Amino acid sequence: MPTFDLRTVLLMASVMPGLMALVMFSIGRTFPRSIRGVAQWAQGSLVFSAATFLMALRDTLPDWLSVICGNICIVGGIGLWLIGSQRYFGRVPFVRFVSALTVIDAVCLSWMTWIDFAPYGRSLCTNVILALLFALLAYELLRFGQRDNGAKVVGSMFAVETLITLTRIVTSLKPGSAHEGLYAQDLVQLIYLSSGAFMSLSITVGFMLTAVNRLRIHLEQLSLIDPLTGLLNRRALLEAHKIAREAPRRTGPYLSLLLIDLDHFKRINDTYGHSMGDDILVDFARRAALALPQHAHFARWGGEEFAVLLPCKIVDEPLGLARALQARIAWTDGSALPSYTCSIGIACLNAREATIEQLLKHADHALYRAKGNGRNRVEVEAEMEVALESLAVAS
């Protein structure tokens, strides 16, 4: 077998993960607090990079530095990856478990270096711990990152690394197997170290891409949310309308739109101030959301105007919903806010014909009538009114 310079491989593998860790540190500082675990991933890559550098200088540095510190840093670095992954998915991190494994590895390495010299035992101890950590990382990323392609790729890498490490353990247990140290030129050791060197960089890059993808999703969600009320914004409601209109069999044959306007809102702002006006908008959003079914899409349309897109199976469903919503608003819960009311205009059309322009046109006309007829009332567009009258006669 041709000689393969494993020392050079390890030295190269010690540089790039460390540099990528610094990049991850820099980028991670700009992430929102909802994206957790990035700091631990970066710390793990930095520690792993230092460990690889120490191990590459085996036989040059003293054993306490290259063997003991190097292996402890490898276990600690991969443990930090595990903690970061658990924090990323919102799970309780195994901090004590990782700390215990690191201490166990340190004690075993120290014992088999200074008290009962056993280089084979040192390797076996560390590999068993690494196989366990790799398996846990593969489980975390594949189990809880099913909708995250980056997490699945990194999890698959850890699964492969688990198999390689287990193979290394099994082959080292065979009777008569040669234990020539870290740089042994047998095939399993070549695969073990080479894959570890490749994975160290790939995994660090994979962690960073996974975090960046989560940031992209977070920013996309923010672009669809009204920052004051936490409801959908106009853009999000238009997207919901497009989806609902394309799937009438699943959502119902009708699409209705409720346009809601808080009555005399300008007077409230002038009397109590804009801060109180904002509080009322938030209060309305909270109360109204409690009256709406899960399949309704509730959005702040602009200013004091709100909109509800409701896929429905019967034409009178939105009318009952509007009345329930008004009853929810009229109920006082001991709040310090001034009382307020709302006017609602309803349009309901066949889903295939219900363009957003048509729904808005009819709902706006109905809302205008509700305001003109004294406010704090519900009005429906003309075609829906005829349909409701026919329904009442039939019943």
Strand 297-302 vs strand 305-312: parallel, antiparallel, or unpaired?
A: antiparallel
Closest to 342 (Cα-Cα) out of 262, 273, 269: 262
| Annotation says 304 is catalytic | yes
Confidence of residue 179 (pLDDT cuts 50, 70, 90): low
- Global pTM value: 0.73
390: pLDDT strictly greater than 80: no
Question: Can you list the domains of the chain with their CATH numbers?
Answer: 6-222 (1.20.1070), 234-394 (3.30.70.270)
Closest to 257 (Cα-Cα) out of 227, 301, 225, 222: 301
CA distance 54 to 76: 14
CA distance 87 to 239: 32
Find where tokens 């063997």 sit: 67
Biggest CA–CA distance in the chain, Å, is 97
pLDDT digits (tens, 9 = 90+) for 53-107: 887 777 788 888 888 998 999 999 999 999 999 999 999 999 999 999 999 999 9
Beta-carbon count within 10 A of 373 CB: 11
Beta-carbon count within 10 A of 333 CB: 7
Residue range 175-199: mean pLDDT, rounded? 62
Which among 140, 161, 239, 304 is annotated as catalytic?
304
Q: Helix or strand or coil: residue 375?
A: coil
pLDDT digits (tens, 9 = 90+) for 223-265: 899 989 999 999 999 998 888 887 755 566 889 999 999 999 9
Read off φ and ψ for residue 269, nearest 5 degrees: -60, -45
CA distance 108 to 68: 9
pLDDT at 393: 42
41: pLDDT strictly greater than 80: yes
Phi/psi-derived region of residue 181, left when phi > 0, alpha when psi is between -120 and 50, beta in every other case: left
Side chain identity at 154, as an amino acid letter?
V
Confidence of residue 381 (pLDDT cuts 50, 70, 90): confident
pLDDT digits (tens, 9 = 90+) for 296-345: 999 999 899 999 999 988 878 888 899 999 988 887 666 778 889 999 99
In this structure, are residues 126 and 105 in contact, taking their beta carbons and an 8 Å threshold? Answer: yes
User: Percentage of the chain with pLDDT > 90?
Assistant: 45
CA angle 323-324-326, nearest 5°? 65
Q: DSSP per residue over 266-328, as a string?
A: HHHHHHH-HHHHHHHHHHHHHHHHHHS-TT-EEEEEETTEEEEEEEESSTTHHHHHHHHHHHH
